A = this chain, B = another copy of it.
Amino acid sequence: MFEITFLGTASAVPTIARNLPSIAVRHEGDFFLLDCGEGTQRQMLMHGVSCMKVKAIFISHPHLDHLTGVSGLVETMALGGRTEPLAIYCPKEASRFFVKKNFVQIVEIGGHLTWDFGKFEARAFPNLHTKPSFGFVFEEKEKIRFFEQKAKAAGIRGPMFSEIMRKGEIAVGGKKIKLKDVTYRQAGKKIVYSGDTAPCQAVAKAAKDADLLIHEATFCSDRQEEAKKSRHSTAIQAAEVAKKAGAKKLALTHISARYPDPSAILAEAKQVFENCIVAEDGMKIKI
């Protein structure tokens, strides 16, 4: 299960209601940040995201509004005595903005695009904004679950569960039991963050069948030209990507300060994709 906390849902400029972009993703006890705009560390305090439990920060692109919160957060971790490694995955151009500390490991996105976090995998994919700019997929690994009744009927008990998992089969009372006959595969949850982007096939592909697509929706259709010029998306465009991807749920974020009331954003998107919300600072979603 992933728990998403929206820490900042503004676009380039903060408003009284919306801080600069950042999203916390919790998986079991660990937190991961998607972007880290100015003021993120204080938003974390306000919305229950422990800075010491952040394992990694993912920066989508080297625009200031998505990364000026990193150095202050790292300073606070250092003052708190942190020694545990903190990975910062970012385009090369972003790293010059970060204060350097011993526990910080900068990982440039590009050479590698996939990282294994044990129970889930994180992937970066190029989107359509500046160069470089990325979106991110977090996907839990598939789990093998036992059919409780079938396993019991086959006589599997105690340590035999781990043995059949390890070997793929096991002999019980002279009879060979195959793993696939007593188990099923449970798909992991998948969440996708578009980053800042014009509507594009890359996001639709990355978000295929996602349980949650978090897509930027900087503008309404009244500003379609401006969206096109600045390589951002309108609410309808974001909804179209979610529909194309077959995503189960859509959360819109990166809302321009021009829309203090986001109801127009929501109404536009819902014309195309019904299971849609506009994120607010502090909103939490469990997937």
Q: A residues touching B (Cβ–Cβ < 8 Å)?
A: 12-16, 19-20, 37-39, 41-42, 45-46, 64-65, 68-69, 71-72, 75-76, 79, 99
User: What would 30 A/B residue contacts be, using CB atoms closer than 8 Å?
Assistant: A12-B75, A12-B76, A12-B79, A13-B76, A13-B79, A14-B41, A14-B42, A14-B45, A14-B76, A15-B45, A16-B42, A16-B45, A16-B46, A37-B72, A38-B38, A38-B39, A38-B42, A38-B68, A38-B69, A38-B72, A39-B42, A64-B71, A64-B72, A64-B75, A64-B99, A65-B72, A65-B75, A68-B68, A68-B71, A68-B72
Assembly CA distance A16 to B48 (angstroms): 11
Assembly CA distance A61 to B266 (angstroms): 45
Minimal beta-carbon separation of A15 from chain B (angstroms): 7
Assembly CA distance A13 to B72 (angstroms): 8
Main secondary structure of the interface of A (DSSP, over half): loop
Assembly CA distance A19 to B69 (angstroms): 13
Assembly CA distance A68 to B68 (angstroms): 8
Q: Which 8 A-B pairs have the closest CB atoms?
A: A39-B39, A38-B72, A14-B42, A13-B76, A68-B72, A64-B75, A16-B45, A38-B38
Chain B positions within 8 Å of A20 at CB level: 72
Q: Select from chain B the residue with minimum beta-carbon distance to A64.
A: B75
Assembly CA distance A13 to B79 (angstroms): 8
Most buried by B among A16, A38, A64: A38
Assembly CA distance A100 to B64 (angstroms): 12
Chain B positions within 8 Å of A41 at CB level: 14, 38
Chain B positions within 8 Å of A42 at CB level: 14, 16, 19, 38-39
Chain B positions within 8 Å of A45 at CB level: 14-16
Q: Select from chain B the residue with minimum beta-carbon distance to A12.
A: B79
Assembly CA distance A189 to B79 (angstroms): 38
Chain B positions within 8 Å of A99 at CB level: 64
Besides A14-B41, A19-B42, A38-B41, 20 other CB < 8 A contacts? A12-B75, A12-B79, A13-B76, A14-B42, A14-B45, A16-B45, A16-B46, A20-B72, A37-B72, A38-B38, A38-B39, A38-B69, A38-B72, A39-B39, A64-B75, A64-B99, A65-B75, A68-B68, A68-B71, A68-B72
Q: Select from chain B the residue with minimum beta-carbon distance to A80.
A: B13
Q: Select from chain B the residue with minimum beta-carbon distance to A20.
A: B72
